[in-house]
A and B are shown apart, each in its own frame.
Chain A
């Protein structure tokens, strides 16, 4: 991605490290976001491998129970806030201005700050492993009263979440403003590429729910140190109230991680099917409906807390409804492929993998939405399987698809197709070895967040661990592909993929100029 600046002016601009620290350019910042996300993916992945190593066999072998809980907690936090979300923002930075015909983001300086807050939060989180008592061990969901116990690291986690929240809100405001105000003449809302639409809606979700998360972790902080009783029955509070407020953020949060993925896939599939996206308008409406519904389903994470029966029923129905717009999306993707003229380069492989495996995750989500069934499955490995299908083979696969898809545009060079395909096939095989058995573990009764388990769960756990190491190693291929591409890839054509039709392909060179569109293109 170094090559972006090849033919650029940039005289008088800082170079070296200072270039990255002071940059106000959407492409530089997008690059920073993506690298940051990748590093966090490796960090979070290494924690996951430690988890899997401990779970390879029954008995305690590798870590202590306290440390195991720290690993689980930080793995969740780092993956969600450090890997997936920043990667998606990285895509938005690179692609949104190019796709709507803008010179840059609306607020370039604030854009820089949104990024440079992330390392602060990451350092805060990771360094909490080294304070007395170790890192937070209450799960990424931070439920009190457990989270009220425990030491200084919990405060570090709270503030890290605050910083991440500020960063996300600023990033989202930037994206919304860019999309609403910087479109090229003629680019009406209903002509925007679907990726732009999904990000518009995602950004709206971010602005709506990140402050709520900030609010609730603030209550945790004051309960911990300043004598308030939000989550303490003796003072009239309720520990379950935290869960309500947290999941009011938390459920939209999972769509924050998946909607941009839908967007990426909706760019990739038409390009390789050589056929326009089927049902563009209904895709837009479906995305909107998912966003709206996402605000009224949060308590499906809380079916076992003993809510009133009416609430259980309401949240069950609302949650089930989400299958309708999501189904529309899946059907539209299939219809886009239908009678196309398909080729299967790496981005397409990951996109197809996405549609297929994400749907499995969606179906298990639906199973979990059925309250009585969730009673058996809540807090088991079935849930762990569900959310890794939607997050890893969902969000992460879409990120991979997007990286392969746009790498030629970003760097001006072609990636190694053979290695890319190898990356896809190894990932997919190991992914399923890793997470498919977890469904059975959950059904058979293995709770999540435990460092040791009863003997009947041994085989599937061993299998999952093997899958985990295989999947982890496979990700190194991605690193090799990207580095090779930057260093020595063959020159890529401006319009790399013949079926792709958004502005960055049709109007810009590969790599694109420093300011994407100095004069806005006119869109017919």
Chain B
């Protein structure tokens, strides 16, 4: 390694993983293009892309883990990882900001515009600007907690109490359990670490289960779909991307759990653990925003 150990900062050898990743992205995106245009075999291309992507992730992360465990990373590398992860989370925040922006824009501006002045009088007569709404030609909002008959052009918005409130509790609790696990790691108490980490993963899975149930219920019983206008679009896109992030977070936590069970990480150096927990807390905070602005207000 000597000749590539420039100073003390670890510089990796040339690597084939990135190009594998690019191949995965190429497959995945062309598959998605095909699938959204109903071109046969699009689904298979997506699957191939995902498989290659997972292969790449296994290989790449495996390499990183091996490097880390064999002590190649020093303090400075560790700091790089911290900066990198923080900026990555910042980029994720901005991604959600786009959708929150859309939500606020529609609630505060465009829906009221449709309900007033010339726009209302000449184009959408009779439309009353309220929230939640599916817009002037969208399904009619018949109020919280009502069942919608199949085929009726109606929807019932999601209530904050019930599953969303339970899910809020679950995520908040999972933040606590994760922190307890972290204390365990720092104290060198592996039992505590493994137990509380496993609990966190479990809470993530339960959250996703409940959300899946909620979606199913929305689609089948409440007339609440992606197509339900401004409300449906923002509801599903925001909670959907959040759910995707919970899924990713849960998988990452599970991987960390496996590594913990294998005895990885030391009380004083365990950046991967921290990174995943940052991510998890970020997902948690986004949820709070969702709970307040999508479900509650």
Contacts and interface: CB of A to CB of B under 8 A. Distances in A.
Contacts of A113: 17-18, 21-22
Contacts of B184: none
Interface in A186-243: 207-212, 214-216, 218-219, 221-222, 224-230, 232-238, 240-241
Contact of A234 (B30, B36, B76, B138): B138
A424 interface: no
A113 B106 CA distance: 37
Contacts of A429: none
Interface in A96-120: 102-104, 106-110, 112-113, 116-117, 119-120
Contacts of B80: 106-107, 177, 181-182
A515 interface: yes
A173 interface: yes
Contacts of B94: 207-209, 211-212
A219 B237 contact: yes
Interface in B1-15: 3-4, 6-7, 9, 11-15
Interface stretch (B97-105, B188-196, B198-206, B258-266): B97-105
Question: What band does the interface of chain A fall in when counting residues whose beta carbon is under 8 Å from B?
Answer: 35 or more
Contact of B237 (A181, A222, A224): A222
A237 B230 contact: yes
Contacts of B98: 211-212, 214-216, 219, 245
B43 interface: no
Interface stretch (A16-24, A325-333, A435-443): A16-24
B6 to A, nearest CB: 4
Contacts of B7: 103, 517-520
A163 B29 contact: yes
B164 interface: no
Contact of B14 (A19, A212, A240, A241): A19
A403 interface: no
A54 interface: no
B32 interface: yes
B26 interface: yes
Nearest to A178: B80
B285 interface: no
Contacts of B237: 218-219, 222, 228
Given A104-B6, A176-B87, A228-B227, A236 B114 contact: yes
A182 to B, nearest CB: 7
A172 B111 CA distance: 37
A244 B90 contact: no
A236 B111 contact: yes
A117 to B, nearest CB: 6
Contacts of A245: 98, 101-102
Interface stretch (B129-137, B146-154, B174-182): B129-137
Give the secondary structure class of B's interface.
helix
Interface in A68-110: 102-104, 106-110
A524 interface: no
B88 A173 contact: yes
B37 A152 contact: yes
A177 B83 contact: yes
Contacts of B47: none
B102 A241 contact: yes
B274 interface: no
Nearest to A203: B87
Nearest to A115: B18
B20 to A, nearest CB: 10
- Which of A14, A24, A244 lies at the interface centre, i.e. has the most chain B CB atoms within 10 A of its CB? A24
Contact of B95 (A110, A177, A214): A214
Contacts of B21: 113, 116-117
B286 to A, nearest CB: 13
B76 to A, nearest CB: 7
Nearest to A241: B105
Contact of B97 (A180, A212, A235, A519): A212
B14 A13 contact: yes
Nearest to A248: B101
In the complex, which range does the number of interface residues on chain B fall in? 35 or more
Nearest to B136: A234
B220 interface: no
A215 B233 CA distance: 13
Given A113-B22, A181-B83, A14 B6 contact: no
B45 to A, nearest CB: 12
A238 B109 contact: yes
Interface string B68-104: 0000000010011001100110111011111101100
B33 interface: yes
A374 interface: no
Contacts of B157: none
B16 interface: yes
Contacts of B99: 215, 219
A212 B99 CA distance: 8
B54 to A, nearest CB: 16
Contacts of B109: 238
A222 B76 contact: no
A169 B9 CA distance: 23
B16 A235 contact: no
A120 B87 contact: no
Nearest to A168: B91
A162 interface: yes
A282 B21 CA distance: 42
Nearest to A19: B14
A237 B135 contact: yes
A116 B18 CA distance: 7
10 contacts: A22-B16, A163-B25, A215-B97, A226-B36, A229-B229, A233-B110, A233-B114, A235-B137, A245-B98, A517-B6
Give the 6 A-B residue pairs with the shortest CB-CB distance, closest first: A215-B98, A236-B230, A236-B135, A113-B18, A103-B6, A227-B227
Given A230-B106, A230-B233, 17 more contacts: A24-B11, A103-B11, A107-B84, A116-B18, A152-B37, A180-B83, A207-B94, A208-B90, A211-B97, A211-B98, A212-B95, A214-B95, A228-B226, A236-B229, A238-B110, A238-B113, A241-B106
